[in-house]
């Protein structure tokens, strides 16, 4: 079996995928309203959207017990995501102060544990736990990075003292794939979402707010993995967050993940064609 570290690098950036996803009306969720005026230093403004695009960066630590297989090989994943834009149900991004000049940023710190197995020369990972806290960075002056040192936390630097938590998440169900032959994959998870008091001032409609969130997208690169040995790999990608009022119909999250992966493959083929032209 070919080690994952020899896979071709997927050249499209997470930002490009995020921009493509936010413009796709097929991935619509229920509407929600954000009160940007609740963020210190921002102007009063209400944003009505149905999704949020994001980018992520993470370290995956996989322990292989006697060769990857059997579904009992534990892994941990540590990383962060940054919100890119709010999206409209008709396609395109919704004007906001998120990542704008004199605006604010949103980031999340997450940790995942689970077990992995082989799948057609790649890896299938089943999530057992996922915890994440979402923060607002009022002055966009927080820096984030994750290293390849096993066991190390996300490095939160810069001026993070004024950041505040708005949502905490726990896992309902989730999984991820790294596909054979390419340094890429997909992921999907259904999360339980709990707003903090400051989060209730930011997410103002509906009230009470949605208790669930589906998170789905593409892994664009997965560097350092193996099918035969324990490893530490670095991963990055992007996707969409859609809020949910109830557990989706069976297969809904899976279909979203398939759709996102297909969009990524289309972008990759287009980029390959441009290089050959």
Average pLDDT for consecutive 10-residue bins of the chain (277 residues)? Answer: 24 38 61 97 96 97 78 91 94 94 97 91 92 97 97 96 98 92 84 98 97 94 88 95 77 45 39 40
Residue 67: predicted pLDDT: 65
185-195 vs 182-183, strand pairing mode: unpaired
Task: Report the alpha-carbon distance of residue 249 to residue 57 in Å, rounded.
Answer: 29
Global pTM value: 0.82
Contact by Cβ (8 Å): 200, 209? yes
What per-residue confidence (pLDDT) applies to 120? 81
- Residue entry with tokens 């923060």: 135
> For residue 181, what pLDDT is reported?
63
HSE, side-chain direction, 13 A CA sphere, residue 47 = 25
**What is the structure's pLDDT at 219?**
94
Residue 81: closest CA among 233, 235, 196: 235
pLDDT value for 260: 42
Residue 236's pLDDT is 95
Tokens (6 digits) for 74: 């534990």
Q: What is the pLDDT of residue 91?
A: 81
Beta-carbon neighbour count of residue 265 at 10 Å? Answer: 16
R_g of the chain computed on alpha carbons: 18
């Amino acid at each position: 079996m070919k080690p994952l570290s020899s896979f071709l690098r997927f050249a499209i950036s997470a930002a490009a995928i995020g921009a493509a996803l936010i413009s796709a009306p097929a991935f619509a969720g229920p509407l929600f309203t954000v009160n940007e005026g609740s963020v210190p230093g921002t102007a009063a403004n209400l944003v009505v959207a149905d999704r949020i695009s994001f980018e992520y960066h993470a370290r995956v630590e996989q322990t292989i017990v006697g060769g990857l297989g059997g579904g009992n090989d534990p892994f941990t994943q540590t990383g962060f995501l940054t919100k890119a834009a709010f999206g409209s149900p008709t396609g395109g991004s919704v004007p906001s102060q998120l990542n704008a000049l004199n605006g604010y940023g949103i980031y999340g710190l997450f940790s995942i544990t689970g077990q992995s197995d082989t799948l057609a020369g790649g890896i299938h990972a089943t999530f057992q736990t996922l915890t994440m806290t979402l923060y607002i960075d009022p002055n966009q002056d927080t820096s984030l990075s994750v290293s390849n040192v096993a066991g190390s936390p996300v490095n939160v630097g810069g001026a993070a003292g004024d950041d505040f938590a708005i949502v905490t998440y726990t896992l309902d169900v989730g999984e991820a794939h790294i596909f054979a032959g390419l340094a890429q994959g997909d992921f999907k998870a259904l999360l339980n979402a709990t707003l903090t008091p400051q989060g209730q001032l930011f997410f103002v409609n509906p009230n009470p707010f949605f208790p669930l969130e589906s998170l789905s997208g593409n892994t664009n690169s997965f560097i350092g993995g193996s099918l035969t040995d324990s490893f530490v790999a670095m991963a990055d990608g992007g996707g969409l967050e859609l809020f949910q009022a109830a557990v989706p119909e069976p297969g809904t999250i899976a279909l979203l993940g398939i759709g996102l992966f297909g969009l990524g493959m289309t972008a990759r083929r287009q980029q390959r064609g441009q290089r050959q032209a």
